[in-house]
Amino acid sequence: MRTFAFGFPRLGVHRQYKTLLERFWDGSLSSEAFQQGIAELKRERLQEYQGMDVIPSNELSLYDPMLDTAVMLGALPSRFRPYAGLSTYFALARGKHALELTKWFNTNYHYLVPELEEPTFELVQNFPLDDVRFHRHEGIETVPTLIGPYTFLRLSKRVRPAGDGLVRVAPLREEEFVEFGSAAVAAYSAVLHSLATEGVQLAVVHEPALALEVPESHWELLASWYGELSRCGVQLWVLCYYDSVSDYRRYSELPVAGIGLDFVSNDENWAELQRYGFPREKTLIAGILNGRQVWRSDLIERLRFLERLHLWVEELVIAPSCPLFHLPVTVSLERNLPEGLQERLAFARERIAELRLLKAAWEGDPGALREAQAQTQLLQTPFARNERVRQRVSALREGDFQRTPPAPLRRQLQQHRLQLPLLPTTTIGSFPQTAEIRRLRSQYARGELSASAYAAAIEQHIRHAIAVQEELGLDVLVHGEFERSDMVEYFAQRLEGFATTEHGWVLSYGSRVYRPPIIYGDVWRPAPMTVREITYAQSLTSKPVKGMLTGPVTMLLWSYWRQDIPAEELAYELALAIADEVRDLEAAGIRIIQIDEPAFREGAPLKRRHWDSYFRWAIRAFRLCHARARPETQIHTHMCYSEFNDIVHFIAELDFDVLSIEGSRSKGEIVDRFATLPPGSIHVGVGVYDVHSPAIPEVSDIEAILARVLQVLPPEAVWVNPDCGLKTRRWEEVIPALRNMVTAARRVAHRVHASSTNS
Ligand code: GLN
Ligand code: ZN
């Protein structure tokens, strides 16, 4: 048995990756110093794999591995040609008209979406070869890794001219895979040939897209592509993870030396393997340790599993279930975790240690076996349970998920109370998180600022935000979220059952990192979490101020969570805590409450046939938050930056009163989908401008978007808002942008009035 770990976080123990990139971008690091820093990080990072039998290379992308693949294949939009090295590379990633950024499978990592114009590829930069050479120079023999042609093409978009100087951007059509595929495979072959010439014997090809639904015709292509790639003189291992492979038989027949199976995400791969057997001549790369969650593994149970697996497979390689970059680097740096938690956690470094231990135990090392037993024993002792919370969940009845009366009646009561104009204007919640606010927060965290001085400073920012919004003439105001570092971490710090880390950073995209909290026990709310700031804001104005909460699905999905109870039950625990907060906000006189669910789509399983079970509980969890809200309290929700077109009917089932949804990325497509719902059944603000751009939207552009929305939705059902929160913008951008938004909304509302009185 051999061990293989891959995808170790590129961030570095001290977030060196982030620092290097950001300093290079702002000009404070020369190109040479940057390259030296990266080389140093590569060396350090490779040490993490010590003791593994197979050591991967080409894993330290300078921005994103999908971008690397596009560059390698010369798959560059014409606006970025000719390719001029790093300057083009970073222009593609973050320059003007950069590639679109979107979520990577069902994770919270974001990749750059390659744009394909023509089915022609050429080897532009041979990253895998360069990296093999780099490490050889250091005396380490590595196995190059690369994203496979199928995943690359499946996740890319085809760009075609569509008249009017506009372009149409869409995933490849089924028949386009043939043409693009053979061109891509030729370029991949060139890479593999170069590796063979260099004496490389094995390469690892990532094909997570095989866990999506893969049509029959694609399997035909895959067989022929991999036939061609296997003739280049390098043995291939293909990996598929994040879910079971879409067709086990087709996959196991691919003409390659080894195939990887994820045995953690669910039991399907294991069931299929037992049903159809495993090809004798192939190596199995068995993903048996969780690469997505932070818990130590039950190693004795894993050993038993390996014994069963071994009955079917001769050549066995043990590995994590997926790349390790979804985990922070190491838990050993943490100093403030709740009692008893640290020894239950494994981040990337500790996961690799588990692989070593597992192999040693498998080989009969008595020390390793004892250690494995001790770990299993520890994990079996109950931890952080709260029976009252468990009882509250088990006592839930159907009625607890059903708000009454129905939305149309509620909206009448709400309108009577709120007296909002036609096309009401609002924002999504956050206002600029200025350097001053970040400084305040860190001073407070370091104890340099007292709690009361900190609260007073936050109040001053709230006062400013309210004054600005009143002056702009917005209809529904927000307090600005200045007290929140992050929409999940803020609540995690105020809920029991949650831990937050000091150093548990994970890459979200580019150099952007976040620290997912850890749900380790039953979740409950010891005290109100938002009432003070919201009621303070409301005391400053007669306009309604929205209470701002993060929904249960997003709280769960943007954290790590315990595995000993179903995710569904955990979502209900979270929902009950949020429901308590809703009740307290109502009691404090708050008339509108927004429960954000930007991650709602993200939890959807990769295969549609699994969707219903996820959406059933995700919808119920959200409904549990507001089912007991008073009819006259207006419940809003917000979603953004996901593919919502195919889930609008699930969204509608959330039974909110108003939705604000990002619209600029889907280029208005989402509006047409709303037309498929019963007329007027959903009240929605489709984002009228992109918050990621510093550009100020023109009044006429916003009017045009509203006109488009009004073709589909009745005016009473339409709200006006930006795409998302404004925390990454500056006030100098926010104020004129919102001014134009309010102007556009008023003009359009005026026209609607005029035409309704005329007819
Ligand atoms: N209310 C949050 C904000 O405005 C929502 C953020 C999000 O959708 N990711 O920042
Ligand atoms: Zn958003």
Compute how many other C-beta atoms are within 10 angstroms of the C-beta atom of residue 449. Answer: 18
Alpha carbon distance 729, 258 (integer Å): 48
For residue 678, count CB atoms less than 10 angstroms from its CB and return exposed for 0-12, middle for 13-18, buried for 19 or more. Answer: exposed
CB 114 within 8 A of CB 99: yes
CB 316 within 8 A of CB 349: no
449: Cβ contacts below 8 Å, ≥ 6 apart: 440, 443, 457
CB 658 within 8 A of CB 636: yes
48: Cβ contacts below 8 Å, ≥ 6 apart: 5, 8, 348, 349, 352
| 158 residue type, one letter | R
Direct distance between the N- and C-terminal alpha carbons of the chain, in angstroms, rounded to an integer:
79
Alpha carbon distance 218, 555 (integer Å): 36
Catalytic member of 683, 692, 750, 753: 692
Whole-number pLDDT of residue 102? 87
Whole-number pLDDT of residue 667? 55
Distance 725 CA to ligand 2 centre (A): 6
Containing H/E element for 360?
Answer: helix 348-362
Task: Indicate which ligand has the atom closest to the C-alpha of 479.
Answer: 1
Q: What is the position in ligand 1's atom list of the atom closest to the CA of 550?
A: 1
Choose one of 427, 479, 721, 724 to mutate for the ligand 1 pocket test, by most ligand atoms within 8 angstroms of C-beta.
724
Low-confidence ranges of the chain (pLDDT < 70): 164-166, 664-668, 759
Q: Break the chain into its structural domains and give their ranges.
A: 387-758
CB 172 within 8 A of CB 158: yes
Is the CB of 428 inside a 6 Å radius of any atom of ligand 1?
Answer: yes
Interstrand relation of 496-499 and 235-239 (parallel, antiparallel or unpaired)? unpaired
Whole-number pLDDT of residue 665? 60
Whole-number pLDDT of residue 642? 82
Supply the residue whose CA is at minimum distance from atom 6 of ligand 1.
725
Alpha carbon distance 104, 212 (integer Å): 12
Whole-number pLDDT of residue 305? 98
Alpha carbon distance 696, 726 (integer Å): 13
290: Cβ contacts below 8 Å, ≥ 6 apart: 264, 297, 320, 321, 351
Alpha carbon distance 708, 715 (integer Å): 11
Of 403, 393, 396, residue with least CA distance to 626: 403
529-544 in b/e burial notation, b at 16+ Cβ within 10 A? bbbebbbbbbebeebb
Is the CB of 488 inside a 6 Å radius of any atom of ligand 1?
Answer: no
Structure tokens that stand for 424 in this block: 């009401």
Choose one of 430, 644, 734 to mutate for the ligand 1 pocket test, by most ligand atoms within 8 angstroms of C-beta.
430
CB 731 within 8 A of CB 432: yes
Whole-number pLDDT of residue 100? 87
Compute how many other C-beta atoms are within 10 angstroms of the C-beta atom of residue 756. Answer: 10
Task: Indicate which ligand has the atom closest to the C-alpha of 725.
Answer: 1
Distance 660 CA to ligand 1 centre (A): 11
Alpha carbon distance 260, 409 (integer Å): 54
Alpha carbon distance 261, 270 (integer Å): 9
3.30.990.10, 3.20.20.210, 2.60.40.420, 1.10.10.10: which CATH number matches 387-758?
3.20.20.210
Of 593, 661, 590, residue with least CA distance to 626: 593
Interstrand relation of 546-550 and 592-596 (parallel, antiparallel or unpaired)? parallel
Task: Indicate which ligand has the atom closest to the C-alpha of 690.
Answer: 2
Is the CB of 602 inside a 6 Å radius of any atom of ligand 1?
Answer: no
Interstrand relation of 518-524 and 101-103 (parallel, antiparallel or unpaired)? unpaired
CB 128 within 8 A of CB 58: yes
Alpha carbon distance 31, 18 (integer Å): 15
Cα 64 off chain centre by: 14
Alpha carbon distance 458, 476 (integer Å): 20
DSSP 415-484: HHHH-PPSS-B---SB----HHHHHHHHHHHTTSS-HHHHHHHHHHHHHHHHHHHHHHT-SSB--B-TT-
Is the CB of 723 inside a 6 Å radius of any atom of ligand 1?
Answer: no
Alpha carbon distance 537, 585 (integer Å): 12
Whole-number pLDDT of residue 368? 98
Structure tokens that stand for 277 in this block: 């057997």
Alpha carbon distance 513, 509 (integer Å): 7
Q: What is the position in ligand 1's atom list of the atom closest to the CA of 598?
A: 8
Angle between helices 348-362 and 366-380 (to 10 degrees): 130
Dihedral, 72, 9, 205, 90 alpha carbons, nearest 10: -10
Whole-number pLDDT of residue 680? 86
Supply the residue whose CA is at minimum distance from atom 5 of ligand 1.
725
Say whether 692 is catalytic: yes
Structure tokens that stand for 183 in this block: 């061109």
Rounded to a whole number, what is the largest CA-CA distance in the chain? 89
Compute how many other C-beta atoms are within 10 angstroms of the C-beta atom of residue 53. Answer: 14
Hunting for tokens 């938050």 — which residue is that?
A: 625
